[in-house]
Amino acid sequence: MSHPAYLTAAFYKFVDLPDYAERKVPLLAFCERRSVKGMILLAREGINSTIAGMPDDVHAVLAYLRADPLLADLQHKESYSKKAPFYRMKVRLKKEIVTLQVPGISPTKMAGTYVKPEDWNALISDPDVVLVDTRNDYEVELGTFAGAIDPGIKSFAQLPAWVAQSERLGRSGKKTKVAMFCTGGIRCEKSTAYMREQGYDEVYHLEGGILKYLETIPPEDSLWRGECFVFDERVSVGHGLHPGQHRLCRACRVPLAENATESAWYERGVSCPRCYETTSEAQKASARERQKQWEFAKSKGISHIGQTQNVNTLGGRSAPAPERTGVHKLTSPAS
């Protein structure tokens, strides 16, 4: 069976990388030589990425990374698309590859118990298990597991505050069984490490995240409801990782809510009901001009990338990046 042209690979690994800053330049150069696009985040605590390109080129980048003994067992998830998911290649240095803003949390030392997708249904069907979706509110809107709690957070860094206030998690010796999940596994590795640091004894997380579950579990056996938001131009995927039906607001880079395009606050490439009140008229004018340039380039059949919109220009959100805290940045890292 032939696949569409573009291969997307999502991967992450928590591993001590004391020389992470020195890795940036040679890694970026190698990706550019192979015409691979996407985002790679490097931090002392590890690597987090989503990249895309021709299959041979993506596999070459993965082989380059795995040639390092510290990354030899790097795992990745694959999906294919007809269109290029990314338009640039960026390697960024970060304090954390997924931002929780709680010092001392180390998934390499104290993450929760991994649960394979094949065993996940049995775990979350246990009435004694509290199931927590660790993703942001706009992600949960698109889909989640049946019976999961939505903390209603805007960014991953807000999760600890929610944990401290939640009545559902219990406080009696912290004996509550807690199961946590996220898009690709990275956020729940860190969140379960945080839960263990807080004294919770039985903490579990979905190995490989929602994406591995949707790839592995057939629809007829699934407890997943809806679609899964992804940090690239596919916007969302369903079972088998087939692209979903959702679209992004090109201003705030968040999925458009149902009937959003019918709102008076919706203007293509400029605003949607979520972000209209968070941007100034000057920012809207800038976005409007950029949209005109994009439409003109499209009419001429040429590529127009333009300047990446970011948190300073669009009311607190930037374009998607790896699965991370919540505010996204390009479209890459594993979630």
Distance between CA atoms of 257 and 280, rounded to whole angstroms?
A: 21
Q: Cα separation of 70 and 252, whole Å?
A: 36
Cα-based distances in Å from 120 to 116, 145, 224, 283:
6, 11, 11, 45
**Closest C-alpha among 177, 181, 167 to residue 200:** 177
Q: Count other C-beta atoms under 10 Å from residue 60's C-beta.
A: 17
User: Exactly one of 31, 182, 188, 228 is catalytic; which is it?
Assistant: 182
Residue 298, CA distances (Å) to 87, 146, 225, 244, 284 in order: 15, 41, 36, 23, 21
Q: Which amino acid is at 326?
A: G
Ranges of beta strands (E only) in 20-107 are 37-43, 46-53, 76-81, 89-93
182 carries an active-site annotation:
yes
Measured CA to CA, the distance from residue 318 to residue 311 in angstroms comes to 5
For residue 269, give the 3-state DSSP assignment: coil
Helix (H) or strand (E) holding 14: strand 6-14
Measured over the CA atoms of residue 242, residue 244, residue 249 and residue 253, the dihedral's sign is negative
Nearest to 185 by CA among 7, 13, 5, 1: 13
Contact 311, 206 (CB under 8 A): no
DSSP state of 330: S
Catalytic residue numbers? 182
